Amino acid sequence: MNRVRTVRKAVIPVAGNGTRFLPATKAVPKEMLTIVDRPVVQYAVDEARQAGIEHIVFVTSRNKQVIEDHFDDAPELISSLSRSGKKAQISELEAMLPAAGSVSFTRQQAPLGLGHAVWCARDLIGDEPFALLLPDMVSFGARGCLAGLMDLYNEAGGNVVGVEQCAPEEASKYGIVGKGETARHGFAVTEMVEKPAAGKAPSNYYLNGRYILQPEIFSILAHQTRGAGNEIQLTDGMLTLSQSQSFHAHPYEGRTFDCGAKQGFIEANVAFALARADIGDLVFESVRDMVLSHESRIRAA
């Protein structure tokens, strides 16, 4: 018998305002901005499914109904595509449609922080371990990041976080973990700090938005006081949980694009477009030409 409890459910918080992407996000949720031809949130859902997740809980907010529509059936669209013989598009939409009853939505009523958003999912998750994927952080690699966290979870149990290395000057943008004893698929976490001040980071391993957490996190988050940025921080809750349960970190072997920022969003679009069989070669030629002409303009200046 497996000694760890199976992770069946995932939480995907989609309640944020997307102020960094205004005016695009005035009427369109930031999670619905596209990387090539799929909304950002679809990448997190695909990654969760690839890692074996059966049920996804979205923590949403006002004016985000279009996210629910994206994960619902679209019978009028399918009939119209069918009348025009668009079989490939129909198959793609059908493959993306979640099974009936396999997604839930709950609302975070006020933007009080990630720790509060996760806490809003407590009843829908119940008393079992769960995965958490922050959809702004988009995994790019042969395998999604969460599948690697599952390997480490099956090895070590407890709580598992995804990490990657960042430049020292970037550390204050993220949650940072301290590195302890090595495990087969990662290492033990010795400490965690949310958005450390310059020079105070315990390492350059930053939390990349992928987690497997035990349900005891909920009762901690219920009483969590505000931390960095005056928000209820998940990292602070995890730090408390680490006093009674183990935390391990899995360094992702691919690359995560921070699509909550303009640079990361553009980079993700280029990376995913280059990897596509249908448009990759054309995009490569065009990006290469743009880079070459940009370089020659810089040299001439």
Per CB under 6 A, 149 contacts ligand G1P? no
Cβ-based nearer residue to ligand G1P, 257 or 283:
257
Question: Which string of x and - marks every residue 59-98 that binds ligand G1P (by CB under 6 A)?
Answer: ----------------------------------------
Buried b (16+ CB within 10 A) or exposed e, 103-126: bbbbebeeebbbbbbbbbbbebbe
Residue nearer to ligand G1P on the CB measure, 113 or 129 = 113
Give CA–CA dist 65/62, Å, rounded: 8
Judged by beta carbon, residue 111 or residue 126, the one nearer ligand G1P is 111
117: contact with ligand G1P by CB under 6 A: no
Q: Out of 158, 193, 235, 265, which residue is the one contacting ligand G1P (CB under 6 A)? A: 235
Report strand pairing: 9-13 vs 247-251: unpaired
Q: Per CB under 6 A, does 114 bind ligand G1P?
A: yes
The amino acid occupying position 1 is M
Task: State yes or no: residue 237 binds ligand G1P (CB under 6 A).
Answer: no
> Angle, nearest 10°, between helix axes 262-274 and 280-300?
130
Measure Cα distances from 61 to 22, 120, 292, 296 in Å: 17, 11, 44, 47
Smallest gap from Cβ 109 to ligand G1P, in A, equals 18
The residues facing 165 across adjacent strands are: 205
Q: What share of the chain is helix, strand, coil (3-state, %, to 5)?
A: 40, 25, 35
Q: Which is nearer to ligand G1P, 86 or 195 (CB)?
A: 195
Q: What are the helix (H) ranges across the chain?
A: 40-50, 65-70, 75-83, 87-96, 114-119, 122-125, 145-156, 217-222, 234-241, 262-274, 280-300
Nearest residue (CB) to ligand G1P, 145 versus 156: 145
Q: Which residue is nearest to ligand G1P (CB)?
A: 175
Closer of 229 and 280 to ligand G1P (Cβ): 229
Three-class DSSP category at 191? strand
Q: Using the rule CB under 6 A, is 175 a contact of ligand G1P?
A: yes
Q: Does 174 bind ligand G1P (CB under 6 A)?
A: yes
User: Which residues of this chain interact with ligand G1P, rule CB under 6 A?
Assistant: 114, 134, 136-137, 174-175, 194, 206-207, 209, 233-235, 260
